[in-house]
Copies of this chain bind each other. A is one copy, B any other.
Amino acid sequence: MKLLDLYAKMKGDLNQIEQELERTVTTDHVLLSEASVHLLKAGGKRIRPIIVLLSGKFGDYSLEVMKHIAVPLELIHMASLVHDDVIDDAETRRGQLTVKSQWDNRIAMYTGDYIYGKALTLATKLTNPIIHQILSKAMVQMCVGEMEQIRDFFNMDQTVRNYFLRIRRKTALLIAISCQLGAVASNADRATANKLYRFGYNIGMAYQIRDDLLDLLGTEKQIGKPPGSDMRQGNITLPVILALKDNRIQEALSRELAIIRKSGSVSDTSRAIEIIRNSEGVAQADQLASRYISKALAALEGLPNIAAKKNLVDIAHFVGKRNY
């Protein structure tokens, strides 16, 4: 089944999630509502709600219960994006904030805080304390991941291990607990919840690697921002780390990265991208992403062969597909 068919099949439940998302962030405060709803309308693939719902099918599925997991998880994801934007905004303006962008940043910061708070408020309607423990721990780890990313900006000595630890916290964990909490909240047994956690973790890792590849190899139209944005920000991703390990090109690439660092947000990354594209880094990163997809599929083994399992397999294949 294609992903679009899956959306069509789940349309009824997803519409209800969409309504609940909007209802949750709507408030008396006009600006907060506007900013939050604007964010919601900006879209997103709603991957987290979808996998929450599918994971819930392995237990006693109730949309009413699933809402209190799916909506908070999507909101936590959104809040983290808003806070990322505060950072990016400051960058793209080369460190100079206009009054307008200052206002946006303030509002973005408190909108993020507000959405986090609303996410938790909705989740607290479920009384199983384990859910809240998993959720709050993941929020902490996501912040640590963001801080690790900042710490490692333009660090050309970082290892592949560093990168994996960082994207695990930054991205994979939230997808992992989307699966896990969908199962836990629908009273699936522990073994099932653990398998689903591993599935989510592995597609999360693959997803971030593909996303980082896309930032280097995609077109501006495809990725919605100029290629090389990560590099411009100082975010050294897997294909770059791997390319830097190649002695033949290490010097040239390091030189380009140093120039990018100096030129800041307006720098031309085309030469660096050319070097990486001609290195083994792309193929190796690609292989590593595929390996995570295989691990995700393996994690599903032993789960009952219900329709949701097939759908999760489809999602894994979708994440694993090259789009650059």
Contact = CB atoms under 8 A, between A and B. Distances in A.
A121 B107 contact: no
Contacts of A112: 113
B117 A140 contact: yes
A297 interface: no
Contact of A96 (B97, B118, B144): B97
A contact residues, range: 35 or more
A113 B139 contact: yes
Contacts of A238: none
Given A114-B140, A117-B140, A98 B97 contact: no
Interface in A96-128: 96-99, 102-103, 105-107, 109-114, 116-118, 120-121, 123-125, 127
A88 to B, nearest CB: 10
A84 to B, nearest CB: 10
B105 A121 contact: no
Interface string A57-90: 0000000000000000000000000010011001
B114 A147 contact: yes
A137 interface: yes
B99 A95 contact: yes
Interface stretch (A24-32, A46-54, A241-249, A280-288): A24-32
A114 B95 contact: no
The 3 closest A-B pairs by CB, nearest first: A117-B140, A114-B143, A117-B139
Contact of A113 (B105, B121, B143): B143
A226 to B, nearest CB: 21
B121 A31 contact: no
A107 B95 CA distance: 15
Contact of A106 (B87, B96, B102, B106): B87
A151 interface: yes
Interface in A119-168: 120-121, 123-125, 127, 129, 132-133, 136-137, 139-140, 142-144, 146-148, 150-151
Given A97-B97, A133-B121, A110 B140 contact: no
A284 B125 CA distance: 43
A28 B103 CA distance: 34
Nearest to A134: B124
A136 to B, nearest CB: 4
Contacts of A90: 97, 102, 105-106
Interface in A10-43: 27-29, 31-32
B27 A110 contact: no
A258 B136 CA distance: 44
Contacts of A140: 114, 117-118, 121
Contacts of A29: 144, 147-148, 151
Contact of A95 (B102, B125, B142): B102
A136 B124 contact: yes
A83 B127 CA distance: 30
A130 to B, nearest CB: 9
